[in-house]
Structure 1
Amino acid sequence: MGRILAIDYGTKRTGIAITDELQIIASGLTTVDTKSLISFLVDYVNEEKVEKFVVGLPKQMNNTASESEIHIQSFLNKLNKAIPKIPVERIDERFTSKMAFQTMIDSGLKKKQRQNKALVDEISATLILQSYLASNS
């Protein structure tokens, strides 16, 4: 069984989370400069067995696509060309950034640490992956 890799796509930085090989636990992996995201993913899947990508689907409160969806679609096209054998699933990512920030507060991180946007992105990716795992269990 391969891992599931979640992506919280951003135009500047992208949060990455990964499951264990049994697809039980979601853990933050890293935050990647979006410009080098495809090469990072190609390198990663050459080292680790990845069964599926889960990419956040940003929606507005009225259930319409967010403005960032245009950028995500462009990324998905590039991803499909670079790594065509790994399927992509989308999952609603509304509130993940707010939940990530609250998680940082709840875990006792100091204000200076909570301003680390890269950490917020990584936690957001982890929340997307946890949500995916919960909805498919």
Structure 2
Amino acid sequence: MGRIVALDYGKVRTGIAVTDELQLIASGLTTIQTKDLLSFLKSYVATEQVIQFVVGEPKQMNYTPSESEVLIKPFLEKLSMAFPEIPIARQDERFTSKMAFQSMLDSGLKKKQRKNKALVDEISATLILQAYLNRK
């Protein structure tokens, strides 16, 4: 088996999470500048067996796509062109940022650490991946 990589895609930063090779546990990997995302993924895929990408799907409360979906669509095309052999799934990402912030509170992180938006993005990617694994 290989790893599943989840992305919490953002205009500036993208949070990345991965599964273990047995696809049982979702763990945060990193957060990187979105402009560097494809080159980061190319390096990662060169060293790890990735069998699927899961990209967060931002939706409104009424299940319609949110405004940020306009930014994600072109990225999905670039991702599928760069990795034509790796399928891409989508996962509803509503409330993941709020849940990520709450998990930071629950884990006792200090106020300064909770302001780290990169950490919120990484945790959000982990929540997206865990929701996908639970749905599978």
Q: TM-score, normalised by structure 1?
A: 0.98
**Cα distance in 2 for residues equivalent to 1:105 and 1:126:** 16
Cα displacement (A) at 1:10: 0.2
Q: Counterparts in 2 of 1:52-71, with a 5 A limit?
A: 52-71=52-71
Please give the secondary structure, in 1, of the residue aligned with 2:42.
helix
**Cα distance in 1 for residues equivalent to 2:94 and 2:100:** 11
Q: Which residue of 2 aligns with 1:88?
A: 88
| 1:127 and 2:123 are equivalent in the alignment | no
Please give the secondary structure, in 2, of the residue aligned with 1:67.
coil
Q: Which amino acid aligns with 1:50?
A: V
Q: TM-score, normalised by structure 2?
A: 0.99
Please give the secondary structure, in 1, of the residue aligned with 2:51.
strand
Q: Counterparts in 2 of 1:97-116, with a 5 A limit?
A: 97-116=97-116
Q: Which residue of 2 aligns with 1:8?
A: 8
Equivalent pairs counted in the alignment come to: 136
Q: Percent of counterpart pairs with the same letter? A: 71
Q: Which residue of 2 aligns with 1:48?
A: 48
**Cα distance in 2 for residues equivalent to 1:72 and 1:38:** 13
Cα displacement (A) at 1:81: 1.0
Cα displacement (A) at 1:62: 1.1
Considering only aligned residues, what root-mean-square deviation do their CA atoms show, in Å? 0.4
| 1:35 and 2:10 are equivalent in the alignment | no
**Cα distance in 2 for residues equivalent to 1:82 and 1:51:** 14
Please give the secondary structure, in 2, of the residue aligned with 1:7.
strand
Q: Which amino acid aligns with 1:65?
A: P
Runs of 4+ in 1 over 4 A off after TM superposition: none
Q: Which residue of 1 aligns with 2:75?
A: 75
**Cα distance in 2 for residues equivalent to 1:134 and 1:99:** 16
Unpaired runs of at least 5, structure 1 = none
